[in-house]
Structure 1
Amino acid sequence: MKRRNFLQLTGAAAVATYGLSAAARPPAPTGVNAYRQARRFADLPCGRIAYVERGTGGAALFLHGAPLNGFQWRGALDRLAPYRRCIAPDFMGLGYSEIPERQSVAPAAQVAMLASLLDALHVGQVDIVASDSGGAVAQMFLVRYPARVRTMLLTDCDTEPDSPPPMIKPVLDMANAGTLANDTAKWLTDKNLARATFGAAVYHDPAILTDDVIEYYVTPMVSTPLRRRQYHEFHKALAPNSLAGIEAALKRSTVPVRMVWGAADRIFPVADAAYLDRTFARSLGVRQVPEGKLFFQEEFPDVIAEEARRLWRVG
């Protein structure tokens, strides 16, 4: 029987809506330069994997969305490093990870990469915090390595019935046509274009995409012909549905799972969170972020930190 700590709505998924509380004295935010200086690399069989690590104690693994990298979680790392050894890798094909030409960047290969990374860092179990396509990888990691996951905090992300979501079909079409990298590279010379298109679609306030943030996200993915091909391959690998058939295994999971969802997200609607709430046997319900779009985690890191601490029972 599921544990319910939040309101029941019409006998279906527990979906609670809370205000956007903030810590009285939030830490000074980590900027691009500080994050860049903190970046490390792990030499693994699949390549040279970029990651940032902060804090000590039990490990927490932060999985970003596309076309972002681990920098997406900088605010959460600022707030959660006192409680966990926070590890934020860059997925293969995105960010600053460097992999050979024939290395797969499909979700299953990302799962294997994460397991290899945790082995290299001498990490057994983790609390997973995930977003977007990283949420699909998180679910696959849970099924493949159930003993390695203590808890899971999922934000707007793929579900088996909604992967890939219809709203990203134009992006996948550009990847298949080989034009996505060129279109993305335009953001480096026209930052306002990035904010008006991509930014407006996935952030409540696109101004969070400052010029240096855009450069940090975009530059590595379009830096060489190989990286552009890998950027395309990452998106091409999102279809067909990598989560097909996973529901039964998720229903058997005994891992506590909490969903935190942007209520203004048009890509992954709140119905996807409700589906996950019904599916996980130990779901702890859904918190809606009223103004949140797909990448609200960057804008409202206090919400992520608050929910993670509750889930981890710390602080």
Structure 2
Amino acid sequence: MKRRDFLQLAGAAVAACGAHAAEAPTEVERYRQARRFADLPFGRIAYVERGTGGAALFLHGAPLNGFQWRGALDRLSPYRRCIAPDFMGLGYSQIPERQSVAPAAQVAMLGALLDALHVDRADIVASDSGGAVAQLFLARYPGRVRTMLLTDCDTEPNSPPPMIKPVLDMANAGTLADDTAKWLTDKNLARSTFGAAVYHDPAILTDDVIAYYVSPMVSTPLRRKQYHDFHKALAPNPLAGIEATLRRSMVPVRMVWGSKDTIFPVADAAYLDRIFPRSLGVRQVPEGKLFFQEEFPDVIAEEALRLWRAS
């Protein structure tokens, strides 16, 4: 082959690779394409599923959705059938107007979702308000939980945490959705306020990530109301009286906690470590804030595998 022909072919190959890279779907697009819906008595529940084998159920925080767990799903799907639903009132789940979005209703929805997916038992991985739902799920369906990995989340003595009172006040006043919607037109506002409070590096909230989280919750008057209702249902304390039940649980539990979380301090992890009879202890993430799970998915994967192998 002549040198000129070789260079032309090489140039064409490089151009083709560049075009392919430019067309590669983004992280958000890949997750959106993987989204499915389960038609349940509660509504159309959005979820993403990856992997095969024993099931693992990933429960997100607010105002996020299952996308919070994308990194963990990538790493753990070779070991489990990973299922990440969107809670009612958040994310892309579509529910009727009169459907409750209170934590107890979320628990019932998850039970129905697992039934629809033919899952008898699951390992639960949870964050934030999803951790409260995880504890309630364990109390209601103790035989359906194989293990539980709890990251920064509510506990009975700290639910709802005092630092989210302004958010609950806005929900009760009907202004929370308007305030959140501002993030769609001012992404830097989202990063400098919400992002700075709950991420070590708010830059993880790229423009398309912010849009994926916020858009469904403020898309219609009904969705705005349900977003408010989700937060209003966090008070009074949905975990009141649950400690006695958790003290009797024989489910292996592990806590992974952000050391710099000011909403759920490490003392909350220590409390859970004391009350669960089969606690496997606490791991602190030195730079972690509330939603460190997105920034440090390797830690989640490492601790989940350790817990699953020890159980």
TM-score normalised over the length of structure 2: 0.91
2:17 maps to which residue? none
2:12 maps to which residue? none
1: CA distance between counterparts of 2:93 and 2:292? 24
Give SS of 1:82's match.
coil
* Among 13, 16, 40, the residue aligned to 2:36: 40
| 8 Å contact from structure 1 (residues 55, 86) kept in 2 | yes
2: CA distance between counterparts of 1:297 and 1:72? 7
1:193 maps to which residue? 189
Code of the aligned partner of 2:222: L
Answer yes or no: is 1:153 the counterpart of 2:149. yes
* Among 240, 243, 252, the residue aligned to 1:244: 240
1:58 maps to which residue? 54
| 8 Å contact from structure 1 (residues 30, 74) kept in 2 | no
Code of the aligned partner of 1:147: G
| 8 Å contact from structure 1 (residues 136, 159) kept in 2 | yes
Give SS of 1:156's match.
strand
2:304 maps to which residue? 308
Q: CA RMSD in A?
A: 1.2
Query: What is the CA-CA distance between 1:56 and the residue it aligns to?
Result: 0.1
Answer yes or no: is 1:92 the counterpart of 2:88. yes
The 1:69–1:312 alpha-carbon spacing in structure 2 relative to 1, beyond 3 Å, is same
Answer yes or no: is 1:71 the counterpart of 2:85. no
2: CA distance between counterparts of 1:313 and 1:61? 17
Query: What is the CA-CA distance between 1:29 and the residue it aligns to?
Result: 11
* Among 216, 221, 246, the residue aligned to 2:217: 221
Code of the aligned partner of 2:40: L
Code of the aligned partner of 1:42: A
2: CA distance between counterparts of 1:303 and 1:83? 16
Code of the aligned partner of 1:41: F
2:251 maps to which residue? 255
Code of the aligned partner of 1:263: S
Answer yes or no: is 1:205 the counterpart of 2:201. yes
Answer yes or no: is 1:111 the counterpart of 2:107. yes
Code of the aligned partner of 1:88: A
Query: What is the CA-CA distance between 1:30 and the residue it aligns to?
Result: 7.2
TM-score normalised over the length of structure 1: 0.90
1:174 maps to which residue? 170
| 8 Å contact from structure 1 (residues 203, 293) kept in 2 | yes
Query: What is the CA-CA distance between 1:136 and the residue it aligns to?
Result: 0.2
Give SS of 1:313's match.
helix
1:282 maps to which residue? 278
Query: What is the CA-CA distance between 1:214 and the residue it aligns to?
Result: 0.1
Answer yes or no: is 1:272 the counterpart of 2:284. no
Query: What is the CA-CA distance between 1:41 and the residue it aligns to?
Result: 0.1
Give SS of 2:260's match.
coil
Q: Which runs of 5+ in 2 are unaligned?
A: 1-23
* Among 206, 231, 236, the residue aligned to 1:235: 231
1: CA distance between counterparts of 2:215 and 2:105? 23
2: CA distance between counterparts of 1:69 and 1:292? 19
Q: Which runs of 5+ in 1 are unaligned?
A: 1-27
Code of the aligned partner of 1:80: L
- State the number of aligned residues: 287
After superposition, what is the alpha-carbon deviation per residue over 1:131-163, rounded to whole angstroms, capped at 9, x for unaligned? 000000000000100000000000000000000
Percent identity over paired residues = 89
Code of the aligned partner of 2:37: F
1: CA distance between counterparts of 2:150 and 2:304? 10
| 8 Å contact from structure 1 (residues 51, 90) kept in 2 | yes
Code of the aligned partner of 2:257: W
1: CA distance between counterparts of 2:63 and 2:26? 20
After superposition, what is the alpha-carbon deviation per residue over 1:71-108, rounded to whole angstroms, capped at 9, x for unaligned? 00000000000000000000000000000000000000
Question: Which is bigger in relative contact order (C-alpha 8 A, separation at least 6)?
Answer: 1
Give SS of 2:224's match.
helix
Code of the aligned partner of 2:273: D
1: CA distance between counterparts of 2:217 and 2:105? 18
After superposition, what is the alpha-carbon deviation per residue over 1:226-269, rounded to whole angstroms, capped at 9, x for unaligned? 00000000000000000000000000000000000000000000
2: CA distance between counterparts of 1:123 and 1:70? 18
Give SS of 1:196's match.
helix
